[in-house]
Structures are given as structure tokens and as C-alpha cells.
Structure 1
Amino acid sequence: MSTPNDFLPIAMQTLLAVGFVIGGLVFAAWLGPKRQGKIKNENFECGIEQFGNARSPFSVKYFLIAILFVLFDVEIIFLYPWAVNFKELGVAGFVEMVIFIALVVAGLYYVIRKGALNWEQ
């Protein structure tokens, strides 16, 4: 049975973290710039006048590839504990991993069929 005193370290750490964030924001506002103006708010890059819009649109393909990379990378990370404990898991662990790998391959097949890896579209 847990008592309220068991949660005291967690509460103290949470309060300390929140206090640190609020203190940092207050400290930055206290020391930050006070005068605002058109020239002071402009970006400055090596004395060169800025021109045009610096925000150029990215293709959605880049984001899709990044998401797919993270997704399949995390799935491959799940294979590491299985490989380390291969002998201890026995046949049941092997069957579970075959099912998991089949799902990963099915997901990859789906991604390929949808054309997510095809740059020409």
C-alpha cells in the first residue's frame, strides 16, 4: 500500500521543474529587450539587406519519407531484444516474431503499392 509520502519526491521534482521553467521565462522577460521598433525587429544577416521570402515550401514527400523512416526504424528496434533473448524465448517467441515481421513486411508492401516511395508522382 502506498502512502502520500511515497509521492513526495515526484511532487517535489514536478514543482521544481515547473518553477525552473517559470523562473526562466520571468528572468528572460526581465533581462530582455525593452525598446521595440521597426529597425530593431528586423532580421540582421551579415549586413546584407534581406529580400524575398525565406520560407520556401517543401514537398510533402520529404515529410512522408521521414515518417516512414521513423516508423520502420522503431519497428526494427523491437527486433533487438528478441535477437538478444532468442534462445530463452523458444518456439513461442519465434512465432511471435515471424508474425511481427510479417506485419512489418505487409506495411512495407502497402507503402510501396500506394506509391509513397515513388518520387515521380
Structure 2
Amino acid sequence: MKNSFINLHIFDSLYKTEYLFILVFIVFAIFLSGIIIFLSYFLSVQNPETEKLSTYECGFEPYEDSRHKFNINFYIIAILFIVFDIEAMFLFPWTIMLSTLDITGFWSMIDFIVELGIGFLYLLYVKGLDWQ
């Protein structure tokens, strides 16, 4: 019994050591990012002009202010594109590994596809894609 306790203690020590390296790496990355942002802000030349701050329209003078409201449907289409793009990203490796997967891997992906299909049918039902 005492021997198994020692093995668990060694495992716990190794477990903490592995996460310590990850923690040190994250702290170092945050510190280095902060230093780079700090240096770029204070060492850059701050010379804003009206020409630099205006919108670029292929060499023409801007016709109107470019900061106007967009229709919310553009955002909905963008979010749907991201969702179905992620679905495609999951489907490609699944189809490649389909012959080596067990029944759990097969049905979990079928469940994923069905849930996305139900979400898409609900979106059609509430007319989320109709322009008003």
C-alpha cells in the first residue's frame, strides 16, 4: 500500500512539472507581447493627417462617410458561414478516418451532422435567411 502511494506522489509531481512549463511559457508569451506592444507604441512616429485618416476608395475622394450601419443579415450570413465551415473542417478528417473508427466515432459524427441539420432547419423555419 505504501509503494502505490509513492507512485501516485511521483505521478502528481510529474503532472505539476509539465503544467509548470506551460505556465512559464504562457507568462513569457504575455510578457514578450506586452513589451513589443509597449515599444511599438512609444517608438512609432505619431503623425496623423486627414489624408491618412480618410477611407481609401481606389484613389477617388470618398463619396460619404464609411462608418454607417450594416444590415444585420450580413452578420448572420457571416456567422452561418463560420459554423458550416467548421462543420466541413470536422467532416474531412472524419471521412478519411472512417474505415478505422469504431461505432462510437461513427455515431458521434452522425449526431453532429444531425444537430447541425436541425439547427439549419430551425433557421429556415424562423426565416432567419430572409431579407426584409
TM (norm. structure 1) is 0.68
CA offsets, 1:37-56, max 9 Å, x none?
xxx5645359x987853302
Equivalent-residue separation in structure 2 for 1:102 and 1:115 (angstroms): 20
Structure 2 equivalent of residue 15 of structure 1: 27
Tell which deviates more after alignment, 70-79 or 54-63: 70-79
Structure 1 equivalent of residue 74 of structure 2: 62
**Amino acid across the alignment from 1:109:** L
Instruction: Report the 3-state secondary structure (helix = DSSP H, G, I; strand = E; otherwise coil) of the residue aligned with 2:100.
Output: helix
Equivalent-residue separation in structure 2 for 1:102 and 1:34 (angstroms): 54
In proportion to residue count, which structure has more helix? 2
Query: Could you list the runs of 5+ residues in structure 1 that have no partner in the other structure?
Result: none
* Mapped pair 1:102 → 2:119: no
Equivalent-residue separation in structure 2 for 1:82 and 1:49 (angstroms): 51
Quote the offset at 1:92 in angstroms: 4.4
Share of identical aligned residues, percent? 27
Quote the offset at 1:60 in angstroms: 0.4
Which residue, 83, 99, 103 being the options, matches 1:71?
83
The aligned length equals 116
Equivalent-residue separation in structure 2 for 1:102 and 1:29 (angstroms): 49
**Amino acid across the alignment from 1:97:** M
RMSD of aligned residue pairs (Cα, Å): 3.2
Tell which deviates more after alignment, 48-57 or 80-89: 48-57
* Mapped pair 1:2 → 2:13: yes
TM (norm. structure 2) is 0.64
